[in-house]
Structure 1
């Protein structure tokens, strides 16, 4: 495990993986995909951003290759997901997708920034690696589901929230804030910012 990633950060990253996997399963359900399709969409959503980041940073092996337990867990989720998702309404699907997206966005963006900083990347590059980690899973999910990616069709701030949160993480690190608290605060900022912009329909200028 990377030196900067404490046990707490690892646990939070696990939550992010399952949050993104769930958003992938919800989209797969809406598209009426079978268990195989649901598994592929969930897997790509959960690990797509991190894999792109690792390719750009030349990190090997990929995170999901080292931690097959997550792959197995997503496989199990895909098999039993229809039994759970069948009970939900369209409204709940939309809310669940928003919340799980926001959780994954926050946790992945911050962890991606931390990993890039540990790889001795310049500060701006580290923030972009964080944003990449946070948003690319959702982009791949939407492409697989034959949709224009949410980041392109929704003018509400998405990548901007991740970008700001990554800079917050770097800023707090400069002030020597305890790493665990730094991760918690930066992740919470991205999560709350994303939910607020959606609730109050705050949009970027076109």
Structure 2
């Protein structure tokens, strides 16, 4: 896959937004669990960087993203001391909705970013899709495990990883068309975001 500056910029922005979105979901979950600032920091860090770290390990990319860009880790560290104070005024219902939206945004952004990086590393198409899904879901898995919950991907029959899989597949299909790569990132990410929110809103469930 041939990269161009616009695509690399789009992926860079997507990764930053995904980190921000997943960090927020980590803050919200930590608040619900009444964790102290240290616990809040650990949960937010694991949520924000867990999927990207797994991706970097599998693709043998060094240094890890959070090591190379320590300012993001530092920002999460500082915010961990203020997040509980800000979030304590939020009702439980709003927290649930905010967690859902933040999680869906992070899922879409991280999944497409992971797939694109895997393709750039000359991975086969199916491996690239799985790499994207792993990048998208693993942060949420770590968040739930640290908060002593069964991971959402295992306890909720509404499509989650399935949305990421479909969106990553769409990304690879659109990559074979004349569509500009930047628009491909935007469309595929939006597809995952909307698919997750709509299936949740209308209570679409996978057979089990």
The TM-score normalised by the length of structure 2 is 0.96
3-state SS, counterpart of residue 174 of structure 1: coil
How much has 1:9 moved relative to structure 2?
2.2
Distance 1:151 1:90 in 2: 21
| Cα distance in structure 1, aligned partners of 2:165 and 2:89 | 36
* Aligned with residue 8 of structure 1, among 4, 7, 10: 10
CA contact (8 A) 2:10 2:185 kept: no
- Pick aligned residue for 2:43 from 35, 41, 44: 41
| Residues 20-68 of structure 1: per-residue CA shift (max 9 Å, x gap) | 0000111101111000000000000000011111111111111111101
Q: Does residue 63 of structure 1 match 2:65? A: yes
Q: Measure how far apart 1:176 and its partner are.
A: 3.0
Runs of 4+ in 1 over 6 A off after TM superposition: none
- Residues 120-169 of structure 1 show CA distances to partners (whole Å, capped at 9, x for unaligned) of 00000000000000000000000000000000000000000000000000
Question: Corresponding residue for 1:109?
Answer: 111
Aligned residue in 2 for 1:133: 135
Q: Which runs of 5+ in 2 are unaligned?
A: none
- In 2, Cα distance between equivalents of 1:165 and 1:118: 18
Q: What secondary structure is seen at the aligned counterpart in 1 of 2:149?
A: coil
1:163 correspondence with 2:165:
yes
2:192 is matched with which residue? Answer: 190
Paired position in structure 2 for 1:147 = 149
Aligned to 2:30: 28
Partner of 2:204: 202
Matches of 2:13 and 2:117, distance apart in 1? 15
Q: TM-score, normalised by structure 1?
A: 0.97
In structure 2, C-alpha distance between the alignment counterparts of 1:153 and 1:91, rounded to whole Å: 20
